Amino acid sequence: MMAAGLLLVAGVAGAQEYPEMQAAQEALQNAKEHLQEASHDYQGHRKAALGHVNAALEDIRLAIASAEKSEKKVEHKEQKLEHKDQNTQKKIQNLEQREQNTK
């Protein structure tokens, strides 16, 4: 139960950006709790359902992590381009200053 809580907490940071994934995660967590509280095993089907729910929760965690990784890559590229642009602007200013100084 504690591990499941940690799964939800780990996903909350990114989940705000992914409301549908968060809703699916919460629904699956709720289903998992109900399955765990079921009175008997239903000829192994309850146990199988728990396995599928756990796999789905892990897939959601991985999906959010993947999306966040992709977003970080994009942010990093944007920062690099911004830095290059700033350097280019400084070079232009320096060239303009030199040009004025030579007149």
Provide the pLDDT confidence category of residue 4 given band limits of 50, 70 and 90: very low
pTM to 2 decimal places: 0.61
CA nearest neighbour of 47 among 59, 62, 58, 32: 32
Of 103 and 30, the structure prediction assigns the larger pLDDT to: 30
Please give the average per-residue pLDDT across 65-84, as a whole number: 89
pLDDT above 70: residue 6: no
Q: What type of residue sits at position 59?
A: D
Which pLDDT score, from 0 to 100, does residue 75 have? Answer: 86
Of 27 and 97, the structure prediction assigns the larger pLDDT to: 27
Average pLDDT, the chain: 85
Q: What type of residue sits at position 40?
A: H
Domain assignments of the chain as residue spans, ordered by start:
2-102
Contact in structure between 33 and 54 (CB atoms under 8 Å): no
- Rounded Cα distance between 95 and 8, Å, is 55
DSSP state of 16: T
Contact in structure between 35 and 50 (CB atoms under 8 Å): yes
